Amino acid sequence: MIKLKYKRVRALAAAEAAMHEEDIKKLLNIEKLKHCFECGVCTASCSMAELLEDYNPRGLLEKIFLNVEDALSSHELWLCAWCYKCYRRCPQALEVPEIFLLVRTMAVKQGYLHPLEKAVQKVAQNIPLPLVVTLVCLHPERVGLNAQDVLETIRSERVKLKTKKTLKGDKYKVAVLGSGPAGLTVAYELIRKGYPITVFESLPELGGMLRKCIPEYRLPKDVLEDELRFLAGLGVEFKVNVHVGKDLSFDDLWDEGYRAIFVGVGAHKTQRLKIEGEDLKGVMYALDFLWQIRNNAKVELGKNVAVVGGGNVAVDAARTALKLGAENVTIFYRRSKAEMPANPWEVKEAEESSVKMEFLVAPKRILGENGRVSAVELVRMKLGELDESGRRKPLPIEGSEFVFKADTVILAIGEAPDLEFLPKCMVLNDDGTIWVNPITMETSIRGVFAGGDVVTGPASVIEAICAGKRAANAIENYLKAVEA
């Protein structure tokens, strides 16, 4: 063991010498990696590693610091989806995505682009919604690549896949509730295996959270439409403006011949702050705000915008407000920056785009004049003992109140599933999400499966796709048993 460690440190030193000094300075956690526990949590946590058998983040880290050349010429370098699950679960808090970004940048500078082509082929052939994943998760533009060129390569690769209808007469029908990334993944996986699929969406347009809350600058509408057309070409049937529980019951679905149901309705219900002034004109909820902008609605924000919250939705809302012309946009978060649930790269990009951030502050009340927002009264916080989320609980500091003038206040304090449409007998978790068997993805009702944000709470697109793929496999196994 000691000999291996000595050899490893010596190899790391050689790798350091081979890399530019400026790049090494950027790689601030290189010392942490020297003392990596090699526990494998990064790979075990990785959604992309689950979706692609030959992707191993832990192995790629070894390549980077034992033989940089191997890493630069590896297609794995381009497959990190920036969900940061590895970082959040790593005992050493290694910023694995940041390491990969640095080496990707080196690869581009040194002309190692052939591995990228192989990575794109794998994404196109093995991952549902590859165009969405490329833009929302892989971010080729972050290393100076033309995202449109990468998308065209994926489109070319996807043409090689079977796009004709593949339905088989001996297969049972499956109903998918919700057309977000989890639901679309289930539809994609099962339609290709011959199962007739109908996707029911309560909104007037398809896409779920992909359409509702991801801003246009991150996911253009034409890219999402391209994905939906591809699925329709495979034979997936789509029905919009259908509210299951209102227009259609679960019993109706069983009566119509569906033998399995997947619930993937996401987390569209915005949490209320429950403070004075929340109903003033100029106070809006982040999901509603983003949905209005996606639908080209005109929203008057004024000069000063306060965004309350620390998740990805809060960051998206803040950057969107800036793009709409607000002069000053500030995010207020009750914990520290290190504890923000938003992906670190999104936080960094928001700061670079002039979004201001105030940490360890929480709103106490919203002030108004003539029925409209004029300011927010906030109180400074300190962190106490760990709470049920595993993070230190924010506690108000007495006498630290201050006022921030604002023309608009956007609340983004969390989202939850709206599950009133479910049968009353379905078991839910304490936090209002759906309980599922972690192995089979089946709910407490036989033949009904669930996945994505409706089970986990708000998470990344790639995590929802991964959950959808697991659920599709479970549904296929269930239906095979029924057929037998």
CA torsion, ordered 411, 418, 177, 83, to nearest 10 deg? 40
Name the pTM for this structure: 0.91
Show the 3-state SS of 68-136: HHHHHCCHHHHCCCCCCHHHHHCCCCCCHHHHHHHHHHHHHHCCCCHHHHHHHHHHHHHCCCHHHHHHH
Interior/surface letters 344-360, b for 16+ CB within 10 angstroms, e for the rest: bbbbeebeeeebebebb
Task: Tell me the three state secondary structure of residue 162.
Answer: coil
Beta-bridge mates of residue 428: 434
Question: For position 25, what pLDDT does the model report?
Answer: 47
User: Which tokens sit at 357?
Assistant: 């951030």
Question: Where does residue 320 fall: left (phi above 0), alpha (psi -120 to 50 degrees), or beta otherwise?
Answer: alpha
Q: What residue ranges of the chain are covered by domains with CATH 1.10.1060?
A: 2-158
**Could you tell me which residues are beta bridge partners of residue 362?**
379
Q: Is 26 exposed, middle or buried (0-12, 13-18, 19+ CB in 10 A)?
A: middle
**pLDDT tens, 44-78?**
999 999 999 889 999 998 888 778 888 999 999 99
Q: Which residues are within 8 A (CB) of 30 and not within 5 positions of it... i.e. 6 or more apart?
A: 12, 16, 24, 65
Per-residue pLDDT tens for 276-322? 999 999 999 999 999 999 999 999 999 999 999 999 999 999 999 99
Q: Please, where in the chain does CATH 3.50.50.60 lie?
A: 173-268+424-483, 270-414
Nearest to 404 by CA among 371, 362, 372: 362
The ranges of the chain with pLDDT < 50 are: 1-13, 17, 21, 24-25, 28
Q: CB count, 10 Å around CB of 170?
A: 6
Q: For 173-268+424-483, which CATH superfamily applies? A: FAD/NAD(P)-binding domain (3.50.50.60)
Please tell me the chain's helix, strand, coil percentages from 3-state DSSP, rounded to the nearest 5.
Answer: 45, 20, 40
Task: Please tell me the CATH code under which domain 270-414 is placed.
Answer: 3.50.50.60
Distance CA 136, CA 141 (A): 11
Sheet holding 356-359, edge to edge: 283-285, 408-411, 304-308, 328-333, 356-359
Assigned token pair, 131: 């165009």
Query: What is the rounded distance in angstroms from the CA atom of residue 456 to the CA atom of residue 465?
Result: 13
* Amino acid in position 466: C
At 125, which amino acid appears?
Q
Q: How many CA atoms lie within 13 A of 473 on its CB side?
A: 10
Specify the CATH architecture of the domain 2-158.
Answer: Orthogonal Bundle (1.10)
Contacts of 466 (CB under 8 A, 6+ apart): 47, 50, 51
Bridge partners (DSSP) of residue 175 are 198, 261
